């Protein structure tokens, strides 16, 4: 069962599957729809959150595309949950880059339209808080260099290691470390000195 962290208190990590991941992965590789459903419900919120904070034009549609790619290519995958998340976010990031290339635009602060959610009956207050958080992060990330934003969001949401992030972004681990350090410093400066609120 997915940990009951869909609505997290501040500071907690996104939902994880845990020990069941191995059996769910095996079932998904055998074509079990229930396993696909479990994986989607566990990881889709993180992916769509990442895409929203990156300023994707249609994060929900892009999330669907990401999971179609993941489920279609899941057969040969071998690894634990952390590696699965890393692989999934790598696909998400590449789909995002593709979308930006197609659109020929930089990420923008688009107003998020209310969208249908898979889980009906969600708490309205949590939904409002989530939207506000996304909006604040997007406003802040828009002030960062694109590489810094990519590194910070990928590492925070996918729990990638430095090496995994370097591979996903096509950079060296040293470059990733430098980017994350500068990105965090810039955020602190923006918040403390320039009054950008969170």
Residues 21-50 that bind other proteins (CB under 8 A): 27-37, 40-41, 44-46, 48-50
Q: Toward other proteins, which CB reaches closer, 6 or 94?
A: 6
Residue 21 neighbours by CB distance under 10 Å: 19
Q: Toward other proteins, which CB reaches closer, 109 or 185?
A: 185
With residue 148 as reference, give the H or E element that holds it: helix 146-158
Minimum distance of other proteins from residue 170's CB (angstroms): 19
CA distance 40 to 76: 18
Minimum distance of other proteins from residue 134's CB (angstroms): 4
Minimum distance of other proteins from residue 160's CB (angstroms): 8
Cβ atoms 43, 90 nearer than 8 A: no
Selected from 23, 108, 115, 174, the binder of other proteins by CB under 8 A is 115
CA distance 170 to 173: 10
Minimum distance of other proteins from residue 188's CB (angstroms): 5
Selected from 10, 101, 102, 106, the binder of other proteins by CB under 8 A is 10
* Footprint (CB under 8 A) of other proteins, residues 57-86: 59-61, 63-64, 67-68, 71-76
Whose CA is closest to 37, among 88, 76, 72, 71?
Answer: 71
Cβ atoms 47, 40 nearer than 8 A: no
CA distance 143 to 172: 23
CA distance 145 to 167: 19
Minimum distance of other proteins from residue 144's CB (angstroms): 5
Q: Toward other proteins, which CB reaches closer, 169 or 187?
A: 187
Minimum distance of other proteins from residue 165's CB (angstroms): 9
Cβ atoms 63, 115 nearer than 8 A: no
DSSP 119: S
- Count, residues near other proteins per rule CB under 8 A: 84
* Footprint (CB under 8 A) of other proteins, residues 84-113: none
CA distance 149 to 155: 10
* Footprint (CB under 8 A) of other proteins, residues 133-192: 133-134, 136-137, 140, 143-145, 148, 153, 155-157, 159, 162, 177, 180-189, 191-192
């Amino acid at each position: 069962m997915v940990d009951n962290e869909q609505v997290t208190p501040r500071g907690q990590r996104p939902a994880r599957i845990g020990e069941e991941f191995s059996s769910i992965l095996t079932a998904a590789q055998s074509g079990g729809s229930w396993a696909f459903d479990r994986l989607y419900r566990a990881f889709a919120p993180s992916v769509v959150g990442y895409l929203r904070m990156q300023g994707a034009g249609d994060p929900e549609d892009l999330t669907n595309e990401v999971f179609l790619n993941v489920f279609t290519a899941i057969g040969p995958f071998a690894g634990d949950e952390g590696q699965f998340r890393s692989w999934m976010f790598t696909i998400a990031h590449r789909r995002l880059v593709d979308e930006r290339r197609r659109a020929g635009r930089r990420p923008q602060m688009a107003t998020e339209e209310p969208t249908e959610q898979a889980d009906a009956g969600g708490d309205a207050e949590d939904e409002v808080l989530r939207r506000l958080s996304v909006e604040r992060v997007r406003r802040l990330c828009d002030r960062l260099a694109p590489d810094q934003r990519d590194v910070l969001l990928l590492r925070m949401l996918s729990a990638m290691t430095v090496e995994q992030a370097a591979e996903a972004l096509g950079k060296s681990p040293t470059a990733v470390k430098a980017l994350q350090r500068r990105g965090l410093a810039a955020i602190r400066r923006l918040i403390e000195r320039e009054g950008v609120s969170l």
